[in-house]
């Protein structure tokens, strides 16, 4: 439903990508929303099927969330309604394939821009969530943390007489609700200090923590090649690593439907679904 139309991979394309993988001893993989669309989670930008093409709904901006109680009320009401579906999506064959690659030792590190935790559910362990995880909640005013499931219970306890429904699904569980539907929703305060609770994800307008960026750069320096899977790299937080790999003269391959910001940097590109490409590649233990 949320995967753009595309052609299946051609034999020649697969062979070039196979050669790329076979020559890599320490592969770094960077994934984006295109890996999770086959699990039923939409992305933002895909032509015709992404959130921006289907809905006027737009993701909340970080500064707005921090400063405005009304914005936090709207966000948490919509997220509360969307979570029962978003929180229980399952990994697809791309997630499982990358987890299997890790077991061979050839996948040195996995970096994901997704906040859905599907790589973890698939069994990946050598992983950095560049933009955090929707499955964790943090307090902006103290060090209190809780799981998103605990947050769901906390919200329910503060809203015993409030309910709303929506049939829309967004990339981060943010669904569309009217002002009338949101009216009366109570945002629970932090159980630790009474402060502001926020998902432990990087909102639009916010920055990835410097320590996380430096860690990924370290893993990239340790690697000998970079595979970009299911990402257009329109957000600089991910694109910077493609630029860094190119500056380090490391080969880059792309599996993505449509154009990416790194097309000019890549030596191999396959414009097909990740689920139609990654499982067809042979990745064996390096001897």
CA distance 123 to 83: 22
By the 8 A CB rule, do 246 and 252 touch? yes
At residue 253, what are phi and psi to the nearest 5 degrees? -120, 150
Say whether 158 is catalytic. no
Residue ranges of the binding site for Zn(2+): 139, 142, 145, 190, 193
Start-to-end CA span in the chain (Å) = 41
Whole-angstrom distance, CA of residue 200 vs CA of residue 186: 20
For tokens 């990745």, name the residue.
283
Q: What is the CA radius of gyration of the chain?
A: 20
CA–CA dist 152, 189 (Å, integer): 13
Considering the candidates 131, 158, 167, 217, report the single residue annotated as catalytic: 131
Write the DSSP symbol of residue 141. S
In contact, 178 and 166? CB cutoff 8 Å: no
Residue ranges for the known binding site for NAD(+) are 32-52, 113-116, 230-232, 256-258, 274
Question: What is the distance between the alpha carbons of residues 199 and 79, in angstroms, rounded to a whole number?
Answer: 10
Query: Hey, which residues does 145 pair with through a beta bridge?
Result: 138
Strand 132-139 relative to strand 145-147, pairing:
antiparallel
Q: What region does 282 belong to: left with phi over 0, alpha with psi -120 to 50, or beta?
A: beta
Pick out the residues of the known binding site: 32-52, 113-116, 139, 142, 145, 190, 193, 230-232, 256-258, 274
Q: Supply the residues annotated as catalytic.
A: 131
């Amino acid at each position: 439903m949320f995967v753009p139309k595309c052609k299946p991979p051609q034999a020649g394309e697969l062979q070039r990508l196979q050669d790329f993988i076979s020559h890599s001893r320490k592969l770094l993989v960077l994934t984006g929303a295109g890996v999770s669309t086959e699990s039923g989670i939409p992305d933002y930008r895909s032509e015709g099927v992404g959130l921006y093409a289907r809905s006027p709904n737009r993701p909340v901006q970080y500064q707005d969330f921090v400063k405005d109680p009304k914005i936090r009320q709207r966000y948490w009401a919509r997220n509360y309604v969307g979570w029962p579906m978003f929180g229980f999506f399952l990994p697809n064959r791309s997630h499982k394939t990358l987890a299997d690659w890790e077991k061979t030792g050839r996948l040195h590190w996995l970096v994901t821009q997704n906040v859905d935790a599907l790589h973890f559910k698939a069994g990946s362990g050598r992983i950095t969530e560049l933009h955090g995880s929707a499955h964790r909640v943090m307090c902006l005013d103290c060090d209190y943390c809780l799981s998103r499931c605990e947050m769901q219970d906390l919200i329910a306890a503060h809203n015993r007489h409030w309910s709303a429904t929506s049939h829309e699904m967004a990339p981060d569980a943010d669904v569309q609700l009217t002002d009338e539907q949101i009216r009366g929703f109570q945002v629970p305060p932090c159980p630790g200090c009474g402060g502001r609770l926020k998902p432990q994800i990087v909102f639009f307008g916010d920055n990835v923590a410097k320590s996380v960026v430096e860690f990924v750069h370290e893993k990239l320096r340790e690697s000998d090649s970079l595979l970009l899977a299911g990402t257009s790299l329109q957000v600089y937080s991910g694109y910077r690593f493609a630029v860094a790999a190119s500056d380090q003269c490391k080969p880059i391959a792309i599996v993505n439907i449509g154009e990416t910001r790194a097309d000019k940097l890549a030596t191999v590109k396959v414009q097909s679904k990740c689920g139609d490409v990654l499982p067809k590649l042979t990745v064996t233990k390096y001897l």
